[in-house]
Amino acid sequence: MSEQIVLRCEDSLEGIFTALFDAFVCKNKMKAPYTDSISIAAGEGEMTLFAREIEVQTDAQKVQKTVYSIQSRLGYPVYDTLLHALCHFAEDRGTAVLGYLVRAFAQGRGISDQLADPFALRVMELSRKVDNELDKLLGFVRFQDLGSILVAQLAPKCNMVPLMMDHFSDRFPDENFILYDENRNLAAVHEAGHRCVLVSGEQLQIPQGHMDYFAVLWKQYFATMEIRERHNEQCQNHLLPKWYRKYMTEWN
Amino acid sequence: MREILQMDRIMEKLTILSAAARYDVACTSSGVQRGGDGTHTGNAYASGICHAFTGDGRCISLLKILYTNDCIYDCKYCRNRCSNDVKRVSFTPEEICKLTMEFYRRNYIEGLFLSSGILHSPDYTMGLLYETLYLLRTKYHFNGYIHVKGIPGASADLLELTGYLADRMSVNLELPTADALRQIAPNKVRKNILSPMRQLQNGIRQSREFHGVSSMKSRMYLDEKTYYNQMAEMKESYARLQDYHDGIAAIREHKARQSAVQSWGEEIAGGENSSRVRNVQKKLPQITRGLMRPDRYFVPAGQSTQMVIGASDESDYQIISVSEALYQKFEMKRIFYSAFINVNHDSSLPDLPGPPLLREHRLYQADFLLRFYGFRADELLSEKNPNFNEQIDPKCNWAVHHLELFPVEINRADYYTLLRVPGIGTKSARRIMAARRYAKLDFSDLKKIGVVLKRAVYFITCKGKMMYHTRMEEGYITRNLMYQERPMQMLLSDGTVQTYEQLSLFDDRGKIVV
C-alpha cells in the first residue's frame, strides 16, 4: 500500500483548484501506479494519522492552468459539473473531483456516464445537490432597494455567489447590485454596465430601517395569492424549506 | 402626501385584482431561453424559476393580475361574473408596467401574467392588454417573461400583434366539453375559444419554421398519419428554411454594407459583394411576406390552456381524451387543470366538500404520461373504466394491469420500455441508458441513479434476477404499492386484513358509500 498524502489548501475555489494542480504534480512523480492515495482537504480540519500532509499555497497561475486544461481537454459541460461540485460544502469535494479528473484525463469524458464508478457518482451527486440549491436560490433571493443600489443578503449552504452572479448580471445589466453571502463573507459586486467582481473577506453592513413601498405591496400580494380552500402547509414547507426564508421579504 | 394616497390606491387595486386572478392556474415561466440584451432589464430561463410558494403550496413565478375585474359575462363559476356584487377596479397600463418593473428588480417575480375580465367588448379588452404589453416592451424595455391571455372573440389582428410581444399566450378552454360550457359559461362559445387557439398554433408554427427552430412535438407520441403529415410539412419547411437563410445573409450583408458606408464612404463598401447583395435584396420583400415581425418570435414559449375539473360531470377518460386531442391537434405546450371551488355558492353547480385535489393530481400525473412517457389516453383509461384509481397512480395502475409485459431487464430494455416501469422517470431512464454502456447495473446502482426502488422492484430484473421473491400477481403487487403510498390509511382502515377488495367501499367520486 502506498503512502497516503493529504493536500491542505485554503477554503475557497481558488484554493482547491491550486490543490488539484499540485495533486497532479505529486501523482506524476510517483513511480508505482496511482491508487487514489492523494486527498484534498480544504480549510482547517482534523489532522489525519498515517498520512503525509502538504500545505498548498494558493496560486492564481496554477488556478488558471487547471481551469484551462479542464475546459480544453474535457469541455465546458464537464467543467460546469466540476465547478458546481466544488461549490458544495462536503469535506470530500476536492478528493472526489481529483479522482474524477484522474479518470477523465486517462479515459476521456465518457467517465461522466460511468455512474458505477464511485468518484464519478460522487461528483454527480455533489453537483446535483448544488444544482438543486442554485435552482431554488435564483428564485428565492430578494434584493433590497437602497436607493442607488440593490443588495441581496443570503445564507446559503453551498457556495452560491460565484454561480449566481452571472445570472443576475445578465438580467440586470443596468443596475448596481451586491450579492452577499454572510456565511463565507463573499460578495459579488456589480456596477451598471460592467462585469461582476468577487470580493472576499469583507463584512457587509446593510443599513436597517429602509422603507420600501414595493416591499409592502409584495407582502400584500403574497398574502392574497393563497387560495384558502387549498391550504397545504406541508406542501409549502416541502417546496420552500424554512432555512431559505431567512432573508425573504414576504417572511419578515 | 399625494404619493402616499396614490400608493394606497395601488395597494387596493393590487389586492382586488390579484385576489381575482389567483384562481388562474398557469403560473409557469418556462419554455423560452433568452439572454439579456446587455443594456435593458430582463432575461428568461428555459426551465422557469419559482420565486415564492404560497400557503397552498402553489408557486408564484409571475405577477399574476387581472387588468380589470369588470366583466360583461356571467360565467357561473367565476367570482367576477357580472351578476356578482363586488367592487370593480382597473389598472392603467402605466401602473402595471411600474409594478412589474419594480417587482422584477427586487427578484420577486420572473415576469408578468396578464389576464382580464371582459370590459365593454373582447376587442376593447384585448386592445388594453396589447397596449400594456407594448408599453412594457418598448418604453420600459422589459426583456423578461410575459404570459398573456387571449380573449375569446377578439379580432385576429389584435391577437397576432399581441403574440409578437408575449412569450406565452393562452386561451382558456374553461370546461372540458361543449355541453358543460353551454350550461356553465353561457356567454362563451366553443368556436370562439378554438379559433384563436388554431390561430396561435399556426402563428407559432410559421414563426418557428421561419426561424429554423424545430417544434416541440418530437418528444410526444405521434400516430402514423400525423407523423407522415409532419414529414411532408418538413419538406416544405426545408424550402422555406433555405429562403430564411438567404434572408438572414441578405440582412447581415445589408447591415455590414451600411456600417461600411458610414465609416468609409460608398466606394469601399461597394466592392465585389455588391451585386450579390443587390440580388438578395430583391428577394427580401418576398421572404418576409405574411410575417408581421420577421425579427421576432411569435409566442416563443408556446400556448397553454386550462380547464376546471369537477364543475361538470365528465369522467377522467373524457378529460384526458380532450387533453390528448389538444396536444395532438393544437400543439399545446401545457394543459392545466383546476380543481373546482364553488366561490359563488351557485346552487346549479355541484356542492363538493372541498376542491377535488386528488383528482386534479391524478390528471396531472396522466398529463405527464401523455407528454413525456409515450402513453396514449386509451391505454390509461377506457369507456368501461373511465376514472383513475384513487389509491395508486396512473402509471402503477397501468403496470399492474399489464403484468404480461413485466419484469423488464434493466440492462437490456430500450428507453420507452424503461419509461413504462413505475419508479423510473425520464431522468433516471436516461441515466440508466448511459451508465449501462460501461458496466452491468445492479439494484444498488439503480438506487444511486435515482430510481424509486420501492415502486420499481416489482417490475424489473437486474442481471436476470429480481430483488426479492415476487409473486407476479395483480392483487399482491397492488396491495404492496398501496401500502407504500399511504401506510397509515391502510392500517387504520380496518386493523385486520387490508385487501384490495376493500376499495369497493369507495365509489369513483371519492366519497365513502357506506
- Written as one letter, the residue type at B316 is D
What Å distances lie between residue A80 and A84, A123, A168, B327, CA to CA?
A: 6, 11, 18, 35
> pLDDT of B210-267, one tens digit each?
776 654 433 334 445 555 555 555 455 555 555 555 655 565 556 555 655 555 544 4
- CB proximity list for A45: less than 8 A, separation 6 or greater: A8, A91
Give me the pLDDT at residue A1, please: 55
B55 interface with A at CB cutoff 8 Å: yes
Amino acid letter for position B444: S
Of the two residues B159 and B506, the one the predictor is more confident about is B159
DSSP run (H or E) holding B409? strand B408-409
Report the DSSP beta bridge partners of residue B149.
B170
B510: confidence class by pLDDT, cuts 50, 70, 90: very low
H or E stretch at A152: strand A150-154
The residue-averaged pLDDT of B423-449 equals: 89
Using the structure block, give the residue that is written with the C-alpha cell 474535457. A74
Mean pLDDT (whole number) for B299-307:
89
Q: Report mean pLDDT in 10-residue bins for chain A, 252 residues.
A: 83 93 92 86 77 88 95 91 94 93 87 81 92 94 90 93 93 93 92 90 80 90 91 92 91 87
Q: What is the 3-state secondary structure (H, E, C) of B348-395?
A: CCCCCCCCCHHHHHHHHHHHHHHHHCCCCHHHHCCCCCCCCCCCCCHH
Write down the pLDDT at residue B500: 43
pLDDT at B226: 53
Q: Which of B125, B148, B168 is the last residue of a domain?
A: B168
**Residue B494 reports pLDDT greater than 70:** no
What is the number of other CB atoms lying within 10 angstroms of the CB of residue A197?
12
The mean pLDDT of B382-389, rounded to a whole number, is 88
Q: How many angstroms separate the CA atoms of B39 and A174, rounded?
A: 6
The 10 Å CB-count burial string (b at 16+, else e) for B383-396 is eeebbbbebbbbbb
pLDDT category at B291 given cuts 50, 70, 90 is very low
Distance CA B355, CA B361 (A): 11
Residue recorded with cell 467517465: A111
Which candidate from A121, A142, A170 shows the least CB-CB separation from B35? A170
CB contact under 8 A, B51 and A140: yes
**pLDDT (0 to 100) of residue B267:** 44
Alpha helices in A177-232 (DSSP H): 213-224
Quote the CA–CA distance of B455 and B423 in Å, as a whole number. Answer: 5
Domain boundary among B146, B168, B190: B168
Give how far A252 is from chain B: nearest CA, Å: 14
Measuring CA to CA, how many Å separate A22 from each of A31, A65, B74?
16, 11, 74
Buried/exposed B421-438: b ≥16 CB within 10 Å, e otherwise: bbbbbeebbebbeebbeb
Distance in angstroms (rounded) separating the CA atoms of residues B97 and B71: 22
Rounded Cα gap, residues A200 and B501, in angstroms: 64
Sort strands A38-42 and B52-53 into parallel, antiparallel or unpaired.
unpaired
Given a cut of 70, is residue B274 above it in pLDDT? no
* Residue B444 CB burial class (10 angstroms; 0-12, 13-18, ≥19): exposed
Positive or negative, the CA dihedral B54, B55, B56, B57 is positive
Peptide bond into B407 cis (omega under 30): yes
B280 has a pLDDT exceeding 50? no
CA distance B439 to A113: 10
Give the residue-averaged pLDDT of B368-382. Answer: 89
The alpha-carbon gap from B305 to the nearest alpha carbon of chain A, in Å, equals 20
Res B249: pLDDT: 58
| DSSP 3-state of B451 | coil
Q: Do B41 and A216 touch (CB under 8 A)?
A: no
Domain count, chain B: 2
Domain ranges in chain A? 4-133, 141-251
Best B53, B109, B141, B352 residue to mutate vs chain A (most A CBs within 10 Å): B53
Please indicate whether residue A13 or residue B283 has the higher confidence score (pLDDT): A13
A139 contacts on B by Cβ (under 8 Å): 49-52, 61, 107, 110
Nearest to B185 by CA among B200, B194, B175: B175
Strand-strand pairing, A51-55 and A144-145? unpaired
B121 within some domain:
yes
CA closest to A250 among chain B residues: B52
Is the per-residue pLDDT at B504 higher than 70? no
Chain A environment of B18 (Cβ under 8 Å): 221, 224-225
Confidence at residue A102, expressed as pLDDT on a 0 to 100 scale: 93
pLDDT score recorded for residue B486: 65
| Chain A nearest CA to B350, separation (Å) | 16
Cα distance from A203 to chain B (closest Cα, Å)?
22
Q: What is the pLDDT of residue B288?
A: 35
Nearest-angstrom CA–CA distance, B6 and B9: 5
Name the percent of chain B lying above pLDDT 90: 29
Find out whether B26 and B334 touch, Cβ atoms under 8 Å: yes
The rounded distance, in Å, linking the Cα atoms of B44 and B110 is 8
3-state secondary structure of A4: strand
Q: Is the pLDDT of residue B490 over 90?
A: no
Helix or strand run (H / E) with residue A144: strand A144-145
Test A175 with B105 for CB contact under 8 angstroms. Answer: yes
- Test A239 with B47 for CB contact under 8 angstroms: no
Kind and range of the H or E element at A42?
strand A38-42
Distance from CA of A174 to the nearest CA of B (A): 6
Question: Across the interface, do B108 and A218 touch by the CB < 8 Å criterion?
Answer: yes
* Domain contains B49: yes
B1 contacts chain A (CB < 8 A): no
Residue B306, in any domain of the structure: no
Helices and strands, counts by H and E, chain A: 8, 8
Structural domain contains residue B357: no
B40 to chain A: which residues are within 8 Å by CB?
Answer: 173-174
Radius of gyration of chain A (CA): 21
Residue B136 inside a domain? The answer is: yes
B35 falls within a domain: yes
Is residue B230 in a domain?
no
| Contact (Cβ atoms closer than 8 angstroms) between residue A160 and residue A129 | no
Contact call for A115 and B35, based on CB within 8 A: no
The beta-carbon neighbor of B357 closest among A143, A230, A250 is A230
User: Which of B15, B341, B438 is opposite residue A220, by nearest beta carbon?
Assistant: B15
Find the CB nearest A224 among B19, B42, B448: B19
Distance between alpha carbon B307 and the CA centroid of its chain, in Å? Answer: 12
CB A23 within 8 A of CB A65: no
Cell of B243: 429562403
- Pick from A44, A69, A66: nearest CA to A55: A44
pLDDT of residue B90: 93
Contact B324, B376 (CB under 8 A): yes
Answer whether A229 sits within 8 Å of B57, measured CB to CB: no
CA distances from B189 to B23, B175, B195, B202 (A): 21, 11, 10, 21
If you write DSSP's letter for every residue of B309-320 in order, what string do you get? ESSS---HHHHH
CB contacts, 8 Å: B431 with chain A: 115
Please say which residue of B149, B168, B187 terminates a domain: B168
Give the cell for residue A82. Answer: 466540476
**At a CB cut-off of 8 Å and minimum separation 6, what does B278 contact?**
none
Contact A173 B11 (CB under 8 A): no
Q: Which of residues 315-354 of B touch A (CB under 8 A)?
A: 339, 341, 354
Q: Contact, B150 vs B171, CB < 8 A?
A: yes
* Confidence grade of residue B284 (pLDDT, cut at 50, 70, 90): very low
Q: Is B293 exposed, middle or buried (0-12, 13-18, 19+ CB in 10 A)?
A: middle
Q: For residue B349, tell me if it sits in a domain.
A: no
The phi and psi torsions of A234 (rounded to 5 degrees) equal -60, -45
Portion of chain B with pLDDT greater than 70, in percent: 77
Query: For residues B485 and B251, which has the higher predicted lDDT (pLDDT)?
Result: B485
Domain residue limits at B105:
1-168
Give pLDDT, residue B471. 82
Q: Which residue has better confidence, B259 or B396?
A: B396
B496 Cβ neighbours under 8 A, 6+ residues apart: none
CA B159 to chain centre: 19
- Give the other-Cβ count within 10 Å of B295's Cβ: 9
Which residue of B lies nearest to A238 if distances are taken between CA atoms? B57
Confidence category of residue B346, pLDDT binned at 50, 70, 90: confident
* pLDDT band at residue B507 under the 50/70/90 scheme: very low
Please provide the size of chain B in residues.
514
- What's the average model confidence in pLDDT over B112-118? 93
For residue range B127-177, list pLDDT tens digits in order.
999 999 999 988 899 999 999 999 998 888 888 889 888 999 999 988 888
Q: What is the pLDDT of residues B42-82, one digit of tens each?
A: 888 888 899 999 999 899 999 999 999 999 998 888 888 88
Q: Give strand ranges (E) for B89-183.
A: 111-115, 145-149, 168-170
Contact assessment for residue B14 and residue A214, using Cβ atoms and an 8 Å cutoff: no
Predicted local confidence at residue B214, as pLDDT: 58
pLDDT at position A152: 93
User: Is residue B294 pLDDT above 70, yes or no?
Assistant: no
Contact B50 A218 (CB under 8 A): no
